[in-house]
Amino acid sequence: MSGADIREFSRPMTGPALVPLIDAIEAGEKPVVAAIEGMALGGGLELALGCHYRIAHSKAQLGLPEVTLGLIPAAGGTQRLPRLIGFPAALDMIITGRRVSAGDALKLGIVDQVTERNAGEVAVAFARSVVDCPLVSRRLSTWPPLCPADLDNILQMALARAWQRGRGALAPVACVQAVQAARLPYSQGMQQEQKLMSMLFASPQARALQYCFFSQRAVGKWSMPNGACWDNSTARPIRKAAVIGLGTMGRGIAVCLVLAGIPVIAMETDEKQLEAARRVVMALLEKEVQKLAVGLHLGLIHFTLEQRYLREVDLVIEAVFEDLALKKQLFAELSSVCHPDTLLCTNTSQLDVDQLATATSRPDLVVGMHFFAPANKIKLLEVVFTSRSSPEAVATAMQLGKWLGKVSVAVANCPGFVGNRMLRPYVEQAGFLLEEGATPEQVDSALEHFGLAMGVFRMSDLSGLDVGWRVRKAAGLTGPGVPQGQLLQTQQGYRYSPLADLICQKGRLGQKTGCGWYLYEGPGGHMARPDPWVHAFLEEYRRVHGLQPRSIGQQEVLERCLFALINEGFRVLEDRIVMDPVALDVIYVLGYGWPAHTGGPMYYAGEVGLPRVLGRLEYYQRVHPDIPHLRPSALLRQLVAKGSPPIHKWMWHIEEGSSRL
Ligand SMILES: C[C@H](O)[C@H](C)C(=O)SCCNC(=O)CCNC(=O)[C@H](O)C(C)(C)COP(=O)([O-])OP(=O)([O-])OC[C@H]1O[C@@H](n2cnc3c(N)ncnc32)[C@H](O)[C@@H]1OP(=O)([O-])[O-]
């Protein structure tokens, strides 16, 4: 049972209340044995905790995931679970919302028995065996709380962790407060649980998180502008795959495929790189085997330098160096080496997939599969289709993403696809704010206080400033082709900030060099500290260019960065790069650390109010007429003019004929 029906939350609850039902089962004189076959989540597990015994099938999973919906367990879970398994284990399960396997549930004491047989039949036999046993010791609500001596410290640490990891989310903190009440008599603890649930239930954060839950499922019902979609396109089976290019991304992708049980040909052209990759991939797989305690056939992966092994694969994912010419050459080779039906996928983060398709004899079988680093951890996958990608190719890539445990989002090919396209104006505004008087830490602090996992400058230092530098050079914005000595403050009449280029020219590439926008303890260091050199560099830059620094508040940082990103999101919708705004929110929450408790950038825009977003963009555009990204998009204007319809109606207002495909 996957718990309460989340769809009911937006309307008056129906049916019997769960709490008195569970209390009645527990208080009854007849032994009740819970048989857990598949999932016991949320209210499902709480119901089982009210039973006198619990039997689980070995493949069952149990958990209290309410926190992921902006709630807390509200049918006694915060009171019974700590009594059953102790405060530390209960806090961990309730604050994280993570599921535990039947085996772990047995070790924790949540279930009394695990079976390979039909749990229902075993439960009936078990019930017969305990029919004469007294039940008084089986009623968890009557158990005294197991309060360890250092409970205060445990709760304090849990609260600090909930604040720190929650990045502004209310539910994790409320989870700690509810569990804390388990040290009280059950009835008083239940009053606290109900009080905290009432506070959360109607909160904007709970609504936003429940929106995220359904959005991440809605994107699986993908569609393309040409009418192809998830339920009229058939995915092909992937019996064997290949990963070409075993750098960081290729290694992560290979691990994903093996963990999904898909045989993999892992290919490199360089012997040393191949050996290094083998060591890393096998170590990662060993770690997963221990963590997941699953049998994994490590023989599924074959490392090779030879292209001939590619003949037998159904799908190739290339993850070679991010260079268009190199990738085009590889795609041309794959056209002749691979079977004619083999899908050719690219992991490129922003190169033109159409151009790669043109380099092959099978453009209909070319799609982008844009994984996010680390590929074996980040759940997001952008599946990029070109105007020639067949629905079958898209369906196959989307299906493969699901098998890999990803949330796949189908997006049309365009520069930066969706995530990186929306990121550009966001990063651009941050650079302009530095020119106007802010420091990297002021900008990052505002963004992280909003709830982003990492501010823009810390994120750039982590991924390496040379990544963006290479892209700007390729675009002719900087580099040898640009007249030296003069700093480009305008490009085609638009404002351009060369600050990042100048930082790179000083060899400051971020964590990898021990300095970038911040100072680190050394090359590869992670502890970002404000760098006096950067402050002096910015002061000198402003002086040379006659820029009068001013104090810039958090509100302006958020509006300039986030509203520019949201505005680009509206342009993505206008171009029909995706067919539903929820796709943009899924991409940003899963791939860019956007706080899920605000729903995602487009949902957040609706919460802030589209008229306010429009008004602030108009204001900033008046102040900075040389920044086109601040010019409000036509769709945003249309939606405001139509009275700000709800997000699921936005696409109705895009004028026909604006589609780019
Ligand atoms: C009192 C108590 O204290 C509190 C208050 C509560 O109990 S609050 C509720 C707590 N329970 C949860 O948080 C569990 C939420 N669900 C899940 O975690 C997963 O669904 C799953 C169970 C692990 C299965 O994953 P899956 O990958 O196999 O399938 P799916 O694609 O996710 O789901 C398949 C389809 O089922 C829908 N669905 C799943 N669980 C649902 C739920 N609880 N309510 C409504 N719809 C649900 C989902 O939207 C999708 O619909 P559609 O897209 O096909 O139209």
pLDDT at res. 4: 84
CB 630 within 8 A of CB 653: no
| Residue 67, ligand 1, Cβ within 6 A | no
What is the mean pLDDT of the segment spanning 123-130? 96
What is the mean pLDDT of the segment spanning 496-502? 92
| Residue 6, ligand 1, Cβ within 6 A | yes
415 three-state secondary structure = coil
Q: How far apart are CA 345 and CA 241, in angstroms?
A: 11
What is the mean pLDDT of the segment spanning 586-598? 97
Q: What's the gap in Å between 213 CA and the centre of ligand 1?
A: 8
Determine the residue type at 637.
R
Q: How far apart are CA 600 and CA 597, in angstroms?
A: 8
| Residue 407, ligand 1, Cβ within 6 A | no
Q: How far apart are CA 279 and CA 317, in angstroms?
A: 20
In which band, very low, low, confident or very high, does the pLDDT at 297 lie, cut at 50, 70 and 90?
A: confident
Nearest-atom index, ligand 1, CA of 4:
7
The tens digit of pLDDT for each residue in 430-456 reads: 999 999 999 999 999 999 999 999 999
Nearest-atom index, ligand 1, CA of 77:
3
- Sign for the CA dihedral angle at 586, 587, 588, 591 comes to positive
* CA-based nearest residue to 246, from 183, 325, 301, 308: 301
Strand pairing partners for 379? none
Percent of the chain with pLDDT over 70: 96
Given a cut of 60, is residue 656 above it in pLDDT?
Answer: no
> Which residues lie closer than 8 Å to 488 by C-beta, 6 or more apart?
477, 478, 482, 496, 498
What is the mean pLDDT of the segment spanning 628-657? 89
* CA-based nearest residue to 111, from 35, 221, 5, 225: 35
| Residue 22, ligand 1, Cβ within 6 A | no
Q: Are strands 315-318 and 241-244 parallel, antiparallel or unpaired?
A: parallel
Question: By alpha-carbon position, which residue is closest to atom 22 of ligand 1?
Answer: 2
pLDDT at res. 472: 87
**Residue 550: both structure tokens together:** 């001013």
**Adjacency order of strands within the sheet including 113-115:** 33-36, 53-57, 113-115
The tens digit of pLDDT for each residue in 372-384 reads: 999 999 999 999 9
| Residue 71, ligand 1, Cβ within 6 A | yes
DSSP string, 150-170: THHHHHHHHHHHHHHHHTT-S
* CA-based nearest residue to 637, from 657, 659, 660, 621: 621
**Residue 488: both structure tokens together:** 């480009």
| Residue 49, ligand 1, Cβ within 6 A | no
What mean pLDDT value characterizes the chain?
A: 93
pLDDT at res. 486: 52
In which band, very low, low, confident or very high, does the pLDDT at 499 lie, cut at 50, 70 and 90?
A: very high
Among 41, 72, 94, 582, name the best residue to mutate to test ligand 1's pocket (greatest count of ligand atoms within 8 A of Cβ).
41
Nearest-atom index, ligand 1, CA of 44:
7
| Residue 193, ligand 1, Cβ within 6 A | no
Which residues are the active-site residues? 46, 66
Please give the domain boundaries of the chain with CATH numbers for all domains: 6-202 (3.90.226.10), 233-416 (3.40.50.720), 458-544 (1.10.1040.10), 554-658 (1.10.1040.10)
CB 29 within 8 A of CB 87: no
Q: What Rg value do the Cα atoms of the chain yield, rounded?
A: 27
Q: What's the gap in Å between 210 CA and the centre of ligand 1?
A: 10
Nearest-atom index, ligand 1, CA of 74:
3
What is the mean pLDDT of the segment spanning 13-20? 78
**Adjacency order of strands within the sheet including 61-63:** 39-41, 61-63, 99-101
Q: How far apart are CA 37 and CA 58, in angstroms?
A: 8
CB 44 within 8 A of CB 3: yes
CA distances (Å), origin 316, targets 156, 300, 340, 369, 412: 50, 16, 12, 10, 20
pLDDT at res. 36: 97
- Burial (CB count <10 Å: 0-12, 13-18, 19+), residue 164: exposed
What is the mean pLDDT of the segment spanning 307-316? 95
pLDDT at res. 295: 66
20 upstream amide cis, omega within 30 of 0: no
In which band, very low, low, confident or very high, does the pLDDT at 487 lie, cut at 50, 70 and 90?
A: low
CA distances (Å), origin 660, targets 224, 383, 574: 12, 18, 9
Q: How far apart are CA 412 and CA 353, in angstroms?
A: 10
pLDDT at res. 657: 42
* CA-based nearest residue to 422, from 634, 569, 576: 569
The tens digit of pLDDT for each residue in 510-542 reads: 999 999 999 999 999 999 999 999 999 999 999
Q: How far apart are CA 549 and CA 538, in angstroms?
A: 10
Q: What's the gap in Å between 217 CA and the centre of ligand 1?
A: 10
73 three-state secondary structure = coil
* CA-based nearest residue to 360, from 334, 321, 342: 334
What is the mean pLDDT of the segment spanning 303-331? 95
CB 408 within 8 A of CB 220: yes
Q: Is the ipTM of this complex over 0.85?
A: yes
Question: By alpha-carbon position, which residue is closest to atom 25 of ligand 1?
Answer: 2
